[in-house]
Copies of this chain bind each other. A is one copy, B any other.
Amino acid sequence: MARTPKPIRSDIAWSTSDRITVRGKSLPDEILGHINLGDMAFLQLTGRMPTPQQSAVFNAVVITLVEHGITPSAIAARMTYAGAPESLQAAVAAGLCGLGTVFVGSMEGAARLLYEIMPEEADADLDAVARETVARYRAEKRILPGFGHPIHKPVDPRTPRLFAIAAENGMAGRYVDLIQRIHAEAERASGKPLTLNATGALGALCCEFGFPWRIVRGFGVMARAIGLVGHILEEAENPMAIEIWQRIEDEASSHMRPA
């Protein structure tokens, strides 16, 4: 019983001997020298060139996620590079593997929540939506994705700046509005300041673009790939991985090792 093969098709790019086309545009003639790297990412994902306003906001979204200091992801990449300096790509890969639910997931979660609760009607009462959402999360003792931060209190300095860039470019729409109402309502309900963090702001901006929530994590992944190359370059010139290893190995097993 032979199976009938299904067609295999991609709409991203094609090449012939003298042409390379990405998303319908000539890479040499219409892309190289005409757009910046953030625009290229936008084109690669959406199949469209960004407007100047979309370019400004999208570049800011991805740039926000490039660098966060010596994160667990950066440590994993540096440890990997120490063992396999000939495989820089594997060191970046190792660093990316940890961009899961704990650190980048809240951006995805914020986008998903906003899509789920946004009413279809243009004149819906967003304050009522915010109240209902905050009450529900409080009743279920769940953390609102995109809120809270261990360091940036009471304000994450990236958040107002991202919203300002969105407003300057006509992209601070209903999703930005809604997450700000959720923020106000959450502070009112708890009686305490609560940080609307960068992942919450970024999640809202991703909704303004209409990106599927499942791909939102991908912006963090592409941005961090850039950041990790920077960490690996620094590790090559001024290493810390071996010193971290020796300190930790020493401390972790000292209770077992004979005196």
Contacts and interface: CB of A to CB of B under 8 A. Distances in A.
Interface string A126-141: 0000000000000000
Interface in A188-210: none
Number of copies of this chain that the complex holds: 4
A215 interface: yes
A237 to B, nearest CB: 8
A10 B258 CA distance: 15
B28 A44 contact: no
A80 to B, nearest CB: 4
Contact of A221 (B11, B44, B214, B225): B225
Contact of A66 (B44, B69, B95, B243): B44
B69 A94 contact: no
Q: How large is the interface on A (under 10, 10 to 19, 20 to 34, 35 or more residues)?
A: 35 or more
Contacts of A37: 36-38, 41, 59, 62-63, 66, 223, 226
A69 B14 contact: yes
Contacts of A66: 22, 37, 40-41, 44
Contacts of A227: 44
A245 B33 contact: no
18 contacts: A3-B246, A5-B247, A9-B240, A10-B238, A10-B252, A20-B152, A22-B66, A33-B161, A33-B165, A38-B38, A70-B253, A71-B245, A76-B77, A76-B79, A83-B103, A88-B214, A88-B217, A90-B98
Interface of A: 3, 5-22, 27-29, 31-33, 35-41, 44-45, 55-56, 59-60, 62-64, 66-73, 75-77, 79-104, 151-153, 155, 157-158, 160-162, 164-165, 168, 212, 214-215, 217-223, 225-227, 229-234, 236, 238, 240-253, 255-258
